Amino acid sequence: MRGRATRRLVTAGRNGLRGFWAAPLVSAVSISTMAAGLLVLGAYLLFVGNMRSVLEEFGSDIRLVAFTPEGAELPPEGAAALARDLVGVTGVAAVRFVSSDEALERLRGELGGDAAILEGLERNPLPASFELEIEAGGRSPAALEAIAQSIGQLRGIAEVRYGEEWVESYALFVRVAEWLGLGLGVFLAIVLGAIVSGTVRLTVHARSDEIQIQRLVGAGGLFIRLPFYLEGALQGGTAAGLAILLLYGVWSLGLPIVVEPLEFLLGPRAPEFFGPAQVLTLVLFGVGLGCAGAIVSLLRLEERP
Amino acid sequence: MIQLYHIELRYDGGIRALRDVSLAVDRGEFVFLTGSSGAGKTSLLRLLFAAERPTAGQLLVAGRNISRIKAAQIPRLRREIGVIFQDFKLLMDRTVHENVAVPLEIAGASRRETRTRVWSTLKRLGLGHRLDHRPRALSGGEQQRVAIARALVTDPPLLLADEPTGNLDPELARDIMDIIADANARGTTVIVATHDPSLLARYRHRLLELSEGRLVRDALPRGLASREVVGQF
């Protein structure tokens, strides 16, 4: 009995492959249309992926600086204890102590030729401080404000500063990029799903006689539906593979041309193509999309007696 | 094998295809279903393989109540019924072998079993040399025999034939009927819908006659053992 069920599945799978090859023109049109859509999606994901890396780099530059009281002496053991307290604050990834001498040295370096104006100082006016690196999840304006408030309450900290305006602009940019990405992703998924659904519906229509005959001689729902699911999955997977190949070709040929003009946007780091995991995800997305399209297009078939 | 109790069938639009039809067909019987065009013959056959559901009444086929059967149980029922359609319903892009193999594939038969059964059935029907041909390359009579082979290849307990000789010349029609009679002789219950009087005269079996959706005659030919008979012919 189990053997018969397996053989039925094998036959249904074979029928799916047969359907894939039986109407090569329909399959080719469907695959190329889907590949074009997935190419746009892939190009967009590549752009967003590289932009995200750039934004991550910008984000990692966000520093929160906690100053000790001006003129107060902070012995090394006191600095170490305070650093431990700071690391314990939620959202703080790392702490670096900057002594008042080191701060003065930095200022001297920044002033360069004008450093001579510091010579007249009777004492070092710069307070010691702690530079705090913030975890990726704590870089929103609200999270930074919360961290700053927690730190401001620690004994030994006089003032906390971070570039509020810069952080807000950065957060807005990230938010807009994410919403734009989500919107485009959903739009493309709907368009591609509709393409597959339409193609499978065409195939179902072209094979309506076969479906009718199969039903009349005792085929169950899965035996009839499975070939179409498989066909949709094959078309989606092939289209995704084709889109990735085309994208890689365009990437390899076009990158040297565009990398220089886009350096202002992408920064000095070289843009990266999809890794193996992302390629697999995109292919699986194509397969899933093909299956979903087939399922949607067969919903009405299910309702027939 | 088949029992109908006060069956009504009404299509969308209010057309009454069957009205208060009650009858029973025993296992192994050969029954002709006759009547003029539109009398309800095809509708009755469609009820028997659950392509339609009765609007009222109870219908039992092979122990299953078609009036209440769940959609998921219909495929299993149909695997026990061979159906020969007037328009053959063959897959034109498949070979004769592939067409006849469809019910076996659906039943999950092994490749060897499928090959053996398809071959022996087609050979019995005189089509052993046509295995790899496509239906378009066959004559009307040969196409009808392929359709019969597909209906018989699983040795179904019930065979339904809708005007199986409708488009064939008398000699071919006789061949087809002989094949169906042979299946009946091997134990298959057979119901043949026809309005061809020559067939009814030649093959003397129980006769059910429909007129405007009503069963107007249920008769056995003279000389056959009597059952609940409405008339004789």
Q: What is the pLDDT of residues B159-203, one digit of tens each?
A: 999 988 876 778 778 888 888 888 899 899 999 999 888 888 888
Domain borders along chain B are 88-155
Domain borders along chain A are 2-58+170-303, 63-162
- Given pLDDT bands bounded at 50, 70 and 90, which one contains residue B100? very high
CB B47 within 8 A of CB B18: yes
Q: From CA A16, how far away is CA B158, in angstroms rounded?
A: 31
Higher pLDDT, B22 or A199: B22
Question: Does pLDDT of B17 surpass 80?
Answer: yes
Q: Which residue has the tokens 């059952």?
A: B227
Question: Does pLDDT of A200 surpass 50?
Answer: yes
Count interface pairs A-B at CB distance under 8 A.
66
Q: CATH classification of A63-162, choosing from 1.20.210.10, 3.30.70.3040, 3.40.720.10, 3.30.460.10?
A: 3.30.70.3040
Q: From CA B201, how far away is CA B190, in angstroms rounded?
A: 17
Give the pLDDT of residue A303. Answer: 46
Give the pLDDT of residue A215. Answer: 87
Question: Does pLDDT of A223 surpass 70?
Answer: yes
Q: From CA B123, how far away is CA A290, in angstroms rounded?
A: 43
Per residue, the 3-state secondary structure of A46-76, as one string, reads HHHHHHHHHHHHHHHCCEEEEECCCCCCCCH
CA B140, B144, B145, B147 torsion-angle sign: positive
Give the pLDDT of residue A270. Answer: 75
Nearest CB among A8, A209, A210 relative to B106 is that of A8
Q: From CA B162, how far away is CA A233, in angstroms rounded?
A: 39
CB B84 within 8 A of CB B160: yes
Q: Which of B131, B191, B123 is nearest to B156 (CA)?
A: B191
Q: Do A217 and B72 touch (CB under 8 A)?
A: no
Give me the percent of chain A exceeding a pLDDT of 70: 90
Asked if the C-beta of B73 comes within 8 angstroms of chain A's C-beta atoms, the answer is no
Per residue, the 3-state secondary structure of A99-146, as one string, reads CHHHHHHHHHHHHHHHHHHHHHCCCCCCCCEEEEEECHHHCCHHHHHH
Q: Do B107 and A22 touch (CB under 8 A)?
A: no
Q: Which of B201, B207, B199 is nearest to B180 (CA)?
A: B199
Give the pLDDT of residue B98. Answer: 92
Phi, psi of A293 (to 5 degrees): -60, -45
Asked if the C-beta of B15 comes within 8 angstroms of chain A's C-beta atoms, the answer is no
Q: How far is A301 from chain B (nearest CA, A)?
A: 13
Question: Does pLDDT of A59 surpass 80?
Answer: no
Q: From CA B59, how far away is CA B32, in angstroms rounded?
A: 19
Q: From CA B183, how far away is CA B157, in angstroms rounded?
A: 10
The residues that bridge with B217 in the sheet, in sequence order, are: B209
Q: Which of B2, B31, B42, B39 is nearest to B163 (CA)?
A: B42
CB A198 within 8 A of CB A297: yes
Question: Does pLDDT of A217 surpass 80?
Answer: yes
Asked if the C-beta of B83 comes within 8 angstroms of chain A's C-beta atoms, the answer is yes
The two three-digit tokens of residue A141, written as one number: 């304006």
Q: What average pLDDT does the structure give for chain A?
A: 81
Nearest CB among A22, A218, A221 relative to B106 is that of A218
Asked if the C-beta of B51 comes within 8 angstroms of chain A's C-beta atoms, the answer is yes
Q: From CA B23, how far away is CA B46, in angstroms rounded?
A: 16
Give the pLDDT of residue A279. Answer: 93
